[in-house]
Amino acid sequence: MHRFANPARFLKIARPATTWLFVLGLLLTGVGLFGGLTLTPPDYLQGETVRIMYVHVPSAWLGMAGWAGIAAASVAQLVWRHPLAAVAGRALAPAGATFAGICLLTGSIWGRPTWGTWWEWDGRLTSMLILFFLYLGYIALAGAEKERGGEGRIAALFGLVGAVNLPVIHYSVLWWRTLHQGQSIGTSGSSIDSSILWPLPLAALGFSCLFGAAVLMRMRAELAESKVEARLRRAAAE
């Protein structure tokens, strides 16, 4: 990890990786969603609405993965003072917030025909909404800290504390009575029939690549902005 502490070395890898992730993401997402919309059969109980799974589930995973990434960056920031950790945290937050938002909206749209309601204040939905608000708080806090010239330690602490919400989201369907279905995909397999399941990993991998491309683009933007600020400061001092 410390090999990439040098921004120049990081950029050497990030530049081609951004393009590859973007292209691969478009391809995999396109194939996954096309398969999910046209090639899979409707569910015997949910009918055609089961197809919402191919956008809802990857966005839920990425919403949570984004905060797990922020927590990892926070550790790197607080323990090793890794120079790219704060940049990574700030770059992960908008992408994570977007996918948490997509998860909430598509879940609400899926809930109406399936449960008969757009929203229910149960454990899974509420903890996911809290994650979305945590993202907004992190974006505001990290942005304000950067503007004041801080190192990003307060935002890193917030990122670590917010990670407590991740197991709450994951286990909410076990801890509380909920409208949301229990875990259907685990390490031991899946309860979803393979004729319906197969586009899901493609869509999830595709959205993950697009997520990665967006994060790398934001990191590159942050590094370029820092370079401009440093040059202007140096020029003003001369």
Contact 118, 65 (CB under 8 A): no
Instruction: Name which of 186 and 236 has its Cβ closer to another protein.
Output: 236
CB of 225 to another protein, least distance (A): 5
Instruction: Name which of 41 and 42 has its Cβ closer to another protein.
Output: 42
Instruction: Name which of 78 and 217 has its Cβ closer to another protein.
Output: 217
CB atoms within 10 A of CB 118: 11
C-alpha to C-alpha distance for 191 and 16, rounded to whole angstroms: 38
CB of 145 to another protein, least distance (A): 19
What is the number of alpha carbons within 13 Å of residue 188 lying toward its C-beta?
A: 3
CB atoms within 10 A of CB 232: 10
Instruction: Name which of 13 and 164 has its Cβ closer to another protein.
Output: 13
Report DSSP state, residue 150. Answer: -
| Tokens representing residue 232 in the block | 């202007």
CB of 166 to another protein, least distance (A): 21
CB of 107 to another protein, least distance (A): 9
Residues in the site for another protein, rule: CB under 8 A? 22, 33, 37, 42, 47-49, 51-52, 55-56, 59, 94-95, 98, 101-102, 105-106, 109-110, 112-113, 207, 210, 213-215, 217-218, 220-222, 224-225, 227-228, 231-232
Burial class (CB in 10 A: 0-12, 13-18, 19+), 38: exposed
